[in-house]
């Protein structure tokens, strides 16, 4: 029987039942895939990965570290590829002594390397670097992995909307509402596709996004490395190293790219963090807008909700079937956006060459991504429970012939009836209008204005069901 390792001897092992945050508690099953991206263990692994890859690329510089063989590369990469709970515990124990998490990773690597056949390389670990060189690249790897998870989920939501509510309902008319009041008809597919198109644009921006990173030592100028190895162009080396990081771990698709920012202080200014989070925030805002519309459509009975036999909708009202998944999505996406707003506002600001406020803020990237993921999964779950209530949609259209006023007044003005707008306003604004009312109006107007028979036929052919304009969609 395996025994769980207690990473902190002063506390109980974390479980969903004892977690403070709902991310690791109530929503653990929905967010656990992000653990490999944003957990403390993941952060330590990514830091170790940067230290190892730096040493490997450093070996390609003549006169610094001797060239390493493919076998030696493989051995070094084993440090992070075989990163285990035991490794993590060892690093955390070192951190208790150093009170510095990056130094703990560095010391673990040096100590372990020293006892191996590559022991002579231990003195080159972290050579000429500052902790932020390692940290900003580790968090870049975390963001790349986490953003990939979100992109896949955004794409899934867009695909589900398109497959279930766009493609099958391109010819299903729907009463539109502007200011909450009946307006010129649209289609179910059109209204759903508005959100798909918006979301796909945000997804494209995420896929094309590149994150700025730094690798320039304690204050950005490679001071220590230039002093020790003045013949090496360390800016070019940093460009080479960042290019290396853009390719070495990509196994399934091109992910977020990193670009070297050569003009930094001790930290990268984080302007591209703000850009990234603004894109995610926009995608989330689109879906908040969508969940609110779905909530309203369900309230208006445009969509019906499927019931689950053993579920309860209320502790008091047995009849209730509530749109809880869309409400859950709205709440979680809103929490995520509040965090992303804070990140985007705070992280680009740093006092002089460095202060440490950003360190604790950056550690909260995971919760923002996790709340986003919960929201996306809730949107998908909500979509699985709805169906289009075509009968109600048809009844609603039939009850609102007044929405043809726009078409009538426009066609009449085309025919030379200059006061067409005012004529329609007089018989439709704030009044119940039936098919018979409109057709009687046209018959009277035909006599008064000497309208042609073809114009009368054209007007009478219009109904709330076919007055939908051009709603063609490329699917």
* Calpha distance 324→331 (Å, rounded): 10
> Residue 126, class by beta-carbon neighbours within 10 Å (0-12 exposed, 13-18 middle, 19+ buried)?
buried
Residue 151 has a CB neighbour count (10 Å cut-off) of 21
* Calpha distance 276→345 (Å, rounded): 12
The catalytically annotated residue of 9, 11, 115, 179 is: 179
Of 441, 426, 438, 436, the C-alpha closest to 402 is: 438
The catalytically annotated residue of 84, 210, 314, 434 is: 314
Residue 461 has a CB neighbour count (10 Å cut-off) of 9
Q: Active site includes 380? A: no
Per DSSP, 162 falls in state: I
Strands 386-388 vs 303-305: parallel, antiparallel or unpaired: antiparallel
Q: Active site includes 179? A: yes
* Calpha distance 55→118 (Å, rounded): 12
Strands (E), 161-202: 173-178, 181-187
Residue with tokens 């807008």: 289
CA 186: distance to chain centroid? Answer: 29
Of 393, 330, 349, the C-alpha closest to 174 is: 393
- Give the phi and the psi of residue 386 in degrees, each rounded to 5: -110, 150
Per DSSP, 165 falls in state: I
| Structure token pair of residue 296 | 């309203």
The CA dihedral of 132, 137, 139, 144, to the nearest 10 degrees, is 160
Per DSSP, 13 falls in state: P
* Calpha distance 73→349 (Å, rounded): 38
Question: Are the C-beta atoms of 241 and 54 separated by less than 8 Å?
Answer: yes
Active site residues: 179, 314
């Amino acid at each position: 029987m395996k025994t769980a390792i207690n990473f902190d001897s002063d506390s109980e092992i974390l479980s969903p039942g004892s977690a403070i945050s709902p991310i690791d508690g109530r929503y653990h099953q929905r967010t656990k895939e992000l653990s490999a991206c944003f957990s403390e263990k993941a952060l330590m692994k990514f830091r170790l990965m940067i230290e190892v890859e730096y040493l490997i690329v450093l070996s390609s510089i003549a006169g610094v570290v001797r060239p390493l063989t493919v076998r030696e590369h493989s051995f070094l990469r084993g440090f992070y590829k075989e990163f285990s709970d035991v490794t993590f515990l060892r690093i955390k124990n070192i951190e208790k002594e150093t009170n510095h998490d990056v130094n703990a990773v560095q010391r673990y690597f040096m100590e372990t390397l020293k006892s191996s056949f590559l022991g002579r390389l231990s003195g080159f670990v972290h050579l000429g670097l500052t902790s932020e060189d390692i940290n900003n690249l580790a968090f870049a790897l975390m963001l790349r992995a986490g953003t990939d998870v979100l992109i896949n989920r955004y794409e899934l939501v867009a695909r589900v909307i398109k497959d279930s509510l766009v493609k099958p309902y391109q010819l299903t008319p729907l009463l539109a509402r502007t200011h909450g009041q009946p307006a010129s008809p649209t289609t179910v597919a059109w209204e759903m596709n508005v959100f798909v198109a918006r979301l796909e644009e945000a997804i494209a921006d995420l896929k094309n996004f590149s994150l700025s990173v730094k690798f320039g030592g304690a204050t950005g100028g490679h001071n220590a490395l230039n002093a020790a190895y003045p013949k090496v162009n360390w800016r070019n080396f940093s460009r080479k190293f960042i290019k290396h990081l853009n390719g070495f771990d990509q196994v399934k698709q091109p992910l977020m790219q990193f670009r070297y920012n050569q003009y930094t202080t001790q930290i990268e200014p984080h302007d591209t963090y703000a850009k990234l989070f603004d894109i995610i925030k926009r995608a989330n805002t689109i879906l908040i807008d969508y969940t609110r519309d779905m909530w309203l459509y369900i309230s208006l009975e445009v969509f019906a909700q499927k019931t689950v036999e053993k579920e309860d909708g209320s502790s008091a009202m047995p009849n209730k079937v509530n749109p809880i998944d869309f409400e859950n999505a709205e709440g979680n996406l809103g929490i995520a956006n509040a965090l992303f707003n804070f990140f985007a506002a705070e992280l680009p600001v740093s006092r002089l060459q460095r202060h440490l406020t950003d360190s604790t803020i950056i550690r909260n990237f995971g919760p923002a991504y996790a709340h986003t993921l919960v929201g996306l999964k809730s949107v998908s779950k909500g979509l699985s429970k709805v169906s289009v209530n075509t009968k109600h949609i048809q009844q609603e259209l039939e009850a609102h012939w007044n929405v043809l006023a726009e078409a009538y007044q426009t066609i009449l003005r085309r025919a030379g009836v200059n006061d067409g707008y005012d004529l329609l306003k007089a018989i439709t604004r704030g009044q119940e209008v039936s098919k018979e009312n409109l057709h009687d109006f046209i018959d009277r107007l035909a006599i008064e204005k000497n309208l042609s028979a073809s114009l009368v036929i054209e007007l009478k052919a219009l109904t709330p069901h076919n007055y939908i304009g051009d709603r063609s969609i490329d699917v």
